Amino acid sequence: MKNDWRTDRIGSALRGENPSVLRRLEAGFAVIGDVQFLPGYSVLLTDEPAVQRLSDLPRARRSAFLADMERLAEAVERACRRSDPSFRRVNLEILGNTDGFLHAHIWPRYAWEPAELVGMPVWLYPLERWSDERFALGPHHDALREEIGAELDRLAQLGPDAD
């Protein structure tokens, strides 16, 4: 089946079979989101499938995961700022209410969002946005996907102490 990787996102990433992977990071995988109603939406997946919570990791791995989350967030911010002048900020969330594995959401936010939603959590967007094929990840997202990946590479070259 074409989308088997969706039922085992981490395992498929570890096997090199998850097509949404942007880059392998120190403590996980940077992936582009399945839905793109907010272009650039990305997720950081842990690279340890059994880990459910940040507190399940030893302190050094927690720090690495959080550093990866920050790096992905900055990459999304840089890429989205260049691609859309209406870019405002990124929201970072570690929730775990639906998927039982550790992951972090990186949501770009834009000035063109509906007024009643622009200052609210993304989860309040209508269900149609989450399932509408117009917003499904596809080839028309390749340029932004490449930009985020290139930013991840640039940030890796700068090192942890660069500003």
Q: Is residue 50 part of a domain?
A: yes
Overall pTM surpassing 0.85 (yes/no): yes
Q: What is the pLDDT of residue 7?
A: 80
Task: Look at the chain and report how many structural domains it folds into.
Answer: 1
Closest residue by Cα to residue 121 from 135, 109, 132, 137? 109
Parent domain of 76: 4-158
**Domain presence at residue 152:** yes
Domain-located, residue 163? no
| pLDDT per residue as tens, the chain (163 positions) | 455 887 889 999 999 999 999 999 999 999 999 999 999 999 999 999 999 999 999 999 999 999 999 999 999 999 999 999 999 999 999 987 788 899 999 999 999 999 999 999 999 999 999 998 999 898 989 999 999 999 999 999 986 666 6
Spatial contact of 67 and 59, defined as CB atoms under 8 Å apart: no
Report the CATH number at residue 38: 3.30.428.10
79 found inside a domain: yes
